[in-house]
Amino acid sequence: MPRARASRRRPPEPGALRRSVLHVVKRAAPDGLGCDELDLGRHEERQRRTRGAGIAVARRATMRLLSSSLTLPAALLVVAVGSSSCSSSKETAPSSHRNGPGDTDDGTDTPPGPLDSETIAPASPPDSTDGNHAPLFVGRFDTTDPAGPKASWPGTRILARFDGTKVSVKLKEHAETWMEGAPSYWEVRVDKGTWTPLAMIADDQPHVFELASNLSPGPHEVELYKRSETQNGITQFLGFDFHGGRSLPPPPRQLRKIEVMGDSFATGFGVENITAPNADCPGPDWSGRWQNFRKAWGAILGETFDAEVHGIVYSAKGLLHNDWPTDNDPLRDYYDRADPNPQIAKTAPLFDLQSWIPDVIVMTQGSGDGGGADFRAAYRDFVINRLRARGPNTHIFMGIVSAGNRETVADVSQSIVAERAAVGDLKMHAFMAKPWTWDEVTACNGHGTPAWNQRIANEIGALIREKVGWE
């Protein structure tokens, strides 16, 4: 595991969080007390790996325990995925981390459900009986709060159609005290036009954001996209105001489904700044303003194949081991959750995995896990007893897109392909992305540029075309 060093404690540039973002018109009256933030301490270290010529750039982001001008229509929707619910406890919720396969009664790595957890299915627009049409939600959302859905996972989307000339939205942002990269960043676009960033205000209070005005009369489509990761904040949607306009039925759901898993090299980490000296971006390198899952290779695959994408991605996380030594909440523990915020790991709502079966899974976790027998066993168990069990007909692509643990992951994934082929399962696939070049990793903390993400999407996309038959 790479050594950690103290991170540079440089504050964000004055006004940087507000640069090029949509305007906040007014602050809405609070509708209740905000959640008490639980002080887990400040994570003040990031891990970096020295790469040749004495240049230190990070292999992966690390965080402490516990993804033309805008002309918006009058109907935009914001939702939130697994948010951090208000908790009466002021202690860190411990992880359900286990040492390896065989810790459960059936000998598999299948985790028990969190205490007092609730399983929820994807939000679906109900049939309208009063002319008020719900938007379309794409991704994992926490819908347990009747006040409105919450979004944690990067790449969650809200799409709506309306007839009108103006729209505003009310949103509330929650950030734990350790979330130094807060607030969340979203992007909005209208009628599939240009994306515009929208920064949240992390004070646990509702705020009204004006999204568009003086639109041409008639129908419009608006999309809201969460581009930043869970550790930078959780957003709750509290409603739209169409200012005299009317909602229309939402756009149809895309038929194809892709799920991607990975660490910071799957999140769009730092992709919004590729020119910082020594890839050392102002403020926390992992902050929401520098992240953009929409520009990551997984989202590009969704655009390429016209597919819904669920981004089960989280910086510094492995399948079994995480970059931060005290972080005991790896992929195999948080995979089932609608909200991966480790603060609420014991009570986090679970996502109904059977309600949304991917056609394609791309798993790139494991670059920082090491090559021990425990990892090899856990990798096999996770792929076969959880991913394959969830989707018997899903094409599962296993590989590495970054630099670490390539030999081990190649070996274990190829052995799984052979094992499953022997019993007639020909939908397991192993791959290894071509190594990066130095000009491809100039994003914050030495992460992939837009060009690198596009190349990775091209490589994996070619495999999907070949194995799945998509065009």
Mean of pLDDT values over 104-131: 54
Residue 147: pLDDT above 80?
Answer: yes
**pLDDT range class, residue 325, cuts 50, 70, 90:** confident
105-110 own/partner pairs: CB under 8 Å, 24+ apart:
108/381, 108/385, 108/386, 109/332, 109/378, 109/381, 109/382, 109/385, 109/386, 110/385, 110/386
**Helix spans in 171-228 (H):** none
Instruction: Say what the pLDDT of residue 373 is.
Output: 92
**pLDDT of 294 over the 60 cut:** yes
Superfamily of the domain at 256-468: SGNH hydrolase (3.40.50.1110)
Structure tokens at 310: 């669920």
Residues 290, 282 contacting (CB under 8 angstroms): no
Contact 236, 83 (CB under 8 A): yes
Whether 94 and 346 have beta carbons less than 8 Å apart is answered as: yes
CA distance 15 to 446: 25
Return the C-alpha torsion angle 149, 154, 160, 165, nearest 10.
100
Could you give the CA distance from residue 334 to residue 413 in angstroms, rounded to a whole number?
21
* Distance in angstroms (rounded) separating the CA atoms of residues 271 and 266: 11
**Averaged pLDDT of the chain:** 79
Residue 364 in 3-state DSSP? coil
From the centroid of its chain, how far is CA 162? 27
Per residue in 17-41, pLDDT (tens digit) is 323 333 333 333 333 323 332 233 3
DSSP state of 277: G
Q: What is this structure's pTM? A: 0.77
- Tens digit of pLDDT for each residue in 241-272? 889 999 999 999 999 999 999 999 999 999 99
Mean pLDDT of 92-121: 44
pLDDT at 48: 34
| C-alpha span between 181 and 175 (Å, rounded) | 9
Average of pLDDT values for 151-165? 95
Tell me whether the omega of the peptide bond preceding residue 183 falls within 30 degrees of 0, making it cis. Answer: yes
Residue 396 has pLDDT above 60, yes or no: yes
Q: How many angstroms separate the CA atoms of 60 and 265, rounded?
A: 7
Residues 6+ apart with CB under 8 A from 447: 58, 61, 264, 265, 269, 270, 271, 279, 441
Where in the chain are the domains?
Answer: 256-468
Residue 117: the pLDDT is 60
For residue 200, what are the CA distances in angstroms to 111, 184, 351?
34, 6, 25
- Interstrand relation of 167-174 and 234-241 (parallel, antiparallel or unpaired): antiparallel
pLDDT for the residue 126:
53
What is the pLDDT, as a whole number, of residue 70?
A: 27
Q: What is the pLDDT of residue 409?
A: 96
Closest CA to 59 of 264, 295, 331: 264
Model confidence pLDDT, tens digit, residues 397-440? 999 999 999 999 999 999 999 999 999 999 999 999 999 999 99
pLDDT value at position 463? 98
Nearest Cα to Cα of residue 93 among 389, 404, 343: 343
pLDDT score of 227 more than 80: yes
Decide: helix, strand or coil at residue 438.
helix
Average pLDDT over residues 73-100: 32
Contact 189, 157 (CB under 8 A): no
Give the closest residue to 335 by CA, choosing from 324, 323, 325, 345.
345
Provide the residue type at 220 as one letter.
H
